[in-house]
Structure 1
Amino acid sequence: RRDGCRWKLETASGTRYLTIDFQRVVSYDPSVSDDDRAQAAYEKKATAAHIPAATGSPSASSSTRTEGGASSGSGSSSPSGSGSAAAGETGKGDKGSKDSKDNKSGKNDTGGKGDKKPGTPSTDAGASGGSDQTDTAPQDTAPRRLDDLGDDAFLDDQLITKDSGIHRDITLVFRSSNVIATIEYDQWTTDTKRIPSSQELQENAQDLADELTGRLNE
């Protein structure tokens, strides 16, 4: 049982698309609850997106992402994950060099991992043209599990470059009881010198998810 909607917004930075999809999962098996069926469906989505398994999950070792720059064994559900520590260690080398100081910022490239379905961008937040930045972002913007949304949640971030332009696709999926909500927030641009900001798009998607979880819990 599904429903959803989509918006398009033209900004100085490019075109943004926001798509919201709601799926209400119903189990017709008396031995399986609606919530359990919804959790299984949610985990399939997380696995398909190569999101690291939650800490303590039996499938942590098999589901952990091993590509695209994410850690291959931490299985951490923390937004910063082990990548933050690694970024900090980068800044400790070559104490006398200017480069080592610059590396202390912990920023990293969250470049694209392949094509995906055109997606989704923002509500009125971030409609200004100042969001585009270089393609660098802190480690805590990497694809990851989220601890503070609904019963389960994950966020995926992909930067995709093509001859026709650049787009960053943010996908946030959360489960609240037997309802699975998917937020897709994308920004497209033909200006290859202005990479859509990962951090801003993620923050906008998470703000919307916070509001939706509150509505679902009412």
Structure 2
Amino acid sequence: MQRKAYVSGVVALLAALLAGCTGSSDDGGDTDNANPGDTGTASAAAQPGKYRTLPEPCGAVGQDTLDSLLPGIQQIADQEQRDKAYAGEATPTFDTDRKVGCRWTVESTDATDHLLVDFERVVSYDNSVSDDTEAQQLFATKEEAADLPEPATSSPSTSASNSPSTSASPGTSTGTSTDESPSGDPSDSAGPSDSAAPSGSGSPSSSISATPSTLQPRILEGLGDDAFLDDALSGSGSTAQQRTVTVAFRTSNVIVTIAYEEQPMTVGVTPNSTPDSKEMQDKARKLAAQLAETLTS
């Protein structure tokens, strides 16, 4: 009887040890080998971007637009040379699915004009970051590098002096004179945002005011998800000054950059000086709006 009791005790001890080992293995399995089907432990992958391909850049700009931006193109007498000018030149790239561009350079009797159109499709290699978020961060870096000035604001004293009711009616509040001009001129209250000016066509380029304050480098509204415009002069003294108008915008995970440059043939002539630089800005913004429509269509 004592031997049976001893054997039974050993069997019970072995059973307990086996149960403990089994429990330890199950606990470790939950920690070391996460079940991919368990939504509580698996992280959801970020959404891919809207765009998987890019347009052909040299074919993205129509002839009418090129005639407007590059006036010298119609002055080319030789038809073969003119066709070559219209065709543009593709910029070097290592991956046409990620980055493409096209460049045009045309001389006229008054100036040399350059146009560059660049498309970049952003792809995130971090599963926790979406393509759109990666593109947004990249565009923010691009915008910061442009070093845009602070938006210009209208002076309350200027607005008050333009209001005929400021001194005539003591009971009238002068606070509203800074928000709306009694003359009805939208440029008096548009501020830095171009979208404040009315536009019958809805095109961003048609709503730019002719005042210098609205022609400074700035954030653009109503163009893609994010957009800005830069305007800079370079060269002085013995060289002709070159104006470069840059319009960049982001639509989902694609960033589009337009660089429009003009350099006069005559030394000392400034191309499209303010407020006449509106013409170059209008043309660049009109092209940007066309390219944005091409991407969304």
Give the TM bin, normalised by the shorter chain: 0.5 to 0.7
Q: How does 1:24-173 map to 2 (within 5 A)?
A: 24-51=121-148, 65=149, 71=150, 76=151, 81-82=152-153, 85-86=154-155, 89=158, 138-162=212-236, 163-173=238-248
Q: CA deviation at 1:157?
A: 0.3
Report what 1:102 is aligned to: none
Tell me how far apart the structure 1 counterparts of residues 158 and 119 of structure 2 sit (CA, whole Å). Answer: 41
| Identity across matched positions, percent | 41
Aligned counterparts of 1:138 and 1:10: Cα–Cα separation in 2: 28
Match of residue 195 from structure 1 = 270
- Give SS of 2:132's match: helix
Cα distance change of structure 1 residues 168 and 137 upon mapping to structure 2, 3 Å threshold? farther
Structure possessing the higher relative contact order (Cα contacts under 8 Å, 6 or more residues apart): 1
Distance apart, 1:87 and its partner CA: 11
Greater percentage in strand: 1
Task: Pick the aligned partner of 2:258 from 183, 191, 197.
Answer: 183
Equivalent in the alignment of 1:117: none
Q: Note the residue ranges of structure 2 that are not aligned, 5 or more in a row.
A: 1-97, 163-186, 189-209
Normalising to structure 2: TM-score of the pair? 0.46
TM-score w.r.t. the length of structure 1 is 0.62
Q: Is the 8 A contact 2:218 2:230 kept in 1?
A: yes
Task: Please tell me the root mean square deviation across aligned C-alpha atoms, in Å.
Answer: 2.6
Cα distance in structure 2, aligned partners of 1:166 and 1:20: 22
Higher helix share: 2
Q: How many residues align?
A: 149
How much has 1:86 moved relative to structure 2? Answer: 4.6
Partner of 1:205: 284
